[in-house]
Chain A
C-alpha cells in the first residue's frame, strides 16, 4: 500500500517537474546536514474510529459551492499521505542550486518511505538593490529591528518564488533518491 501511494505521489510530482528535466541532466545532491526540519515520523497511536461528529465550525465558506467541478483528471494523486509509520526511513535532502539574476535558489525535501513529506526553501535570493524609502510613518506603525528568530512552527509563510527554480531543485533531489 505504501508503494502504491508513493508511486502515485511521485508520479504526480514528476508530472509537475517534467518540464525541467531537460535542463537538469546532472545534479549533485547530498543529504542535508543538520537542518531545522524534523520529519513527522511518529504519528503513532493511530486508531480509527468511524463514529465521528461531522460538520463543525467551518461554515465560513459560503460561496464555495462550485458544483461544476468537473471530473478528476488523470494526474490527480489519489490518496493522502497518511502518517508514516514509526519505523519510517526518513531523510532530508538538499537540492541543486538554481541561479537567478537575484541570487541562488535551493530547496530541501524530507522523504519518508519514498514519499515527499515536506519541502522548503533553504536558499532564496535577496534584494541587493538598495534604495531610499519613504520613512513617513503613520502613528499606528510600529518599527522594530529585523531579527532572525528560532521558532517551533507547524507551517511557514513565505513569498512564492519562481516555480522553475523550485522544480529544478526538487528534481535534483528526486534524481538522487531514485524516485
Chain B
C-alpha cells in the first residue's frame, strides 16, 4: 500500500435534505442499495413508494433466478453446464428472450473491447455476470422511474446508476474509491442520468482473467467507467483492468463515455480518457 502520509482523507456520505427512502438487499453475491429522494416534486405516498421498491426487489430476485451462476437451477447455469445451448433458446419465451438479449450484448461488448471482455473465455464456461449486475441495476432504476420516482440512485456492489437529482439543484455525486484506501476516493463524478462502474483485479472473489492469456488481469489496479448505461459501464471497466492503457485504442471511440483508471503497482499514477466519436 503506497498510501500517502499526511492528514487522513475522509469520505463523508451526504445526507438527504428531505423525504427519502433507502433499501438494502443482499443479492447477486453483493449488497444492492436503492436510494430514492424527494426533490422538486412531491414523492407519492409511502405505500406507493414501498410498492415500487418491492417490485424492484422482486425483479432483482427474478434476475437472480435466471442469471445466477451460483444456483443449480438457473438458465445460465444450464448453459454453462451444457444442459441447454444458445441455439435452442426461443425469443418467444420471456426468460430465454432476456438471456438471449444479454448474450447479444456480451457478444457486442467482446467485439467493442477487442476481446478484453470475453465471458466465453473464462474458467467454468460462459459467465455473463460481468454484464448482468450493471444491466439489472439499470433495469431497477428504469422500473422505479416508470413508477414516477425520478430521483433515484441504485448501487449494486459498486456499480452505480443515478437518475435525476440527490436534492434541490444538487446532482448525485459518486465517489470512486481509492483502490488501496477505502477511507478516501480518487475522484468524484456526477453521472447525471447515467452510471459509473468500477472494477478491480480481485473482483467478486476471483481474478478477472485476461481472456487472451488465461492469466489474472494486470492492466490496472482499478478501472472506473462513467457513461449512459451501467451494463456497458461494468463491462468496459472490467475490460480496462485487462487491457490497461492499451484499452485507450478502443475506448477513445466511445462518444459520451469517460474512463478513470489507476495504474498497477508500483506505479503511483492514474489516467483518464474521454471518448469522442
Contacts and interface: CB of A to CB of B under 8 A. Distances in A.
B101 A63 contact: yes
B248 A141 contact: yes
B122 interface: no
Contacts of A64: 139, 142-143
A58 B161 CA distance: 12
Contacts, number: 369
Interface string A15-48: 1110000000000000000011111111101111
Among A38, A58, A123, residue most surrounded by chain B Cβ atoms (within 10 Å):
A58
B217 to A, nearest CB: 10
B9 A149 contact: yes
Given A36-B11, A149-B187, A155-B155, A57 B245 contact: no
Give chain A's interface secondary structure class.
loop
B70 to A, nearest CB: 9
A78 B173 contact: no
Contacts of A148: 3-4, 9, 178, 181, 183-186
Contact of B24 (A102, A116, A137, A152): A116
Nearest to A13: B26
Contacts of B54: 72, 76, 78-80
Contacts of A154: 13-14, 35, 153, 166, 172-174
Given A83-B20, A157-B158, A36 B25 contact: no
Contact of A37 (B9, B13, B48, B206): B13
B198 A157 contact: yes
Contacts of B158: 156-160
B148 A54 contact: yes
A159 B174 CA distance: 14
A110 B270 CA distance: 31
Contacts of B205: 161-165
Contacts of A49: 42-43, 45
A158 B20 CA distance: 24
B189 to A, nearest CB: 8
A159 B198 contact: yes
Interface string A140-179: 1111111111111111111111111111000000000000
B193 A60 contact: yes
A150 B9 contact: yes
Given A129-B265, A145-B268, A138 B201 contact: no
A48 B30 contact: no
A36 B10 contact: yes
Interface in B176-208: 176-189, 193, 196-206
Given A52-B42, A72-B54, A153-B175, A134 B245 contact: yes
Q: Nearest 9 pairs between A and B by C-beta?
A: A58-B145, A61-B142, A54-B148, A159-B200, A162-B205, A68-B94, A16-B26, A158-B177, A148-B184
20 contacts: A38-B13, A56-B41, A58-B141, A58-B193, A61-B141, A80-B22, A134-B246, A136-B246, A138-B245, A138-B248, A141-B248, A141-B271, A143-B271, A144-B270, A150-B184, A152-B11, A153-B185, A154-B172, A158-B182, A159-B179
